[in-house]
Amino acid sequence: MEWKITDGLTSYDDAVAFMEARVASIAAGDADECVWLLEHPPLYTAGTSAKIQDLTDPERFPVYESKRGGEYTYHGPGQRVAYVMLDLNKRGRDVRQFVKHLENWVISALAEFNVHGEIRDGRVGVWVRRDDKPLTVTGKPAEDKIAAIGLRLRKWVSFHGISINVEPDLEHFSGIVPCGISEYGVTSLVDLGLPVTIADLDAALRKTFVEVFETTNA
User: What is the per-residue pLDDT across 158-171, written as a single tens digit (0 to 9) for each?
Assistant: 999 999 999 999 99
Q: Which residues are annotated as a binding site?
A: 68-75, 148-150, 161-163
Task: Compute the average pLDDT of residues 126-130.
Answer: 95
**Three-state secondary structure string covering 29-49:** CCCCCEEEEEECCCEEEECCC
* Rounded Cα gap, residues 50 and 178, in angstroms: 10
Tell me the percentage of the chain whose pLDDT exceeds 90: 81
Average pLDDT score over the chain? 93
Predicted confidence band of residue 138 (pLDDT cuts 50, 70, 90): confident
Residue 180: what pLDDT? 63
Q: Bridge partners of 88?
A: none
Read off the pLDDT band of 215 (50, 70, 90).
low
CA geometry: angle at 161 spanning 63 and 55, to 5°?
Answer: 25
Sequence-separated (6 or more) residues with CB below 8 Å from residue 195: none
Residue 218 confidence (pLDDT) above 70 = no
pLDDT at 123: 81
* Catalytic residue chosen out of the listed positions 85, 179, 196, 201: 179
Distances from the Cα of 185 to the Cα of 54, 87, 128, 166, 191, angstroms = 14, 33, 10, 15, 12
Percent of the chain whose predicted confidence (pLDDT) is above 70? 97
Catalytic (active site) residue 179: yes
CA distance to 78, 148, 202, per residue, from 81 (Å): 10, 9, 10
Q: What residues are designated binding site for substrate?
A: 68-75, 148-150, 161-163
User: Which residues, at least 6 apart from 185, have a Cβ–Cβ distance to it below 8 Å?
Assistant: 130, 133, 142, 144, 145
pLDDT at residue 47 tops 50: yes
What number is the average pLDDT over the span 174-188? 82
**CA 140 remoteness from chain centre:** 25
Residue 178 has pLDDT above 80, yes or no: no
Angular region, 129: left φ>0, alpha ψ -120 to 50, beta rest:
beta
**H-helix or E-strand spanning residue 129:** strand 123-129
The two counts, helices (H) then strands (E), for the chain are 3, 11
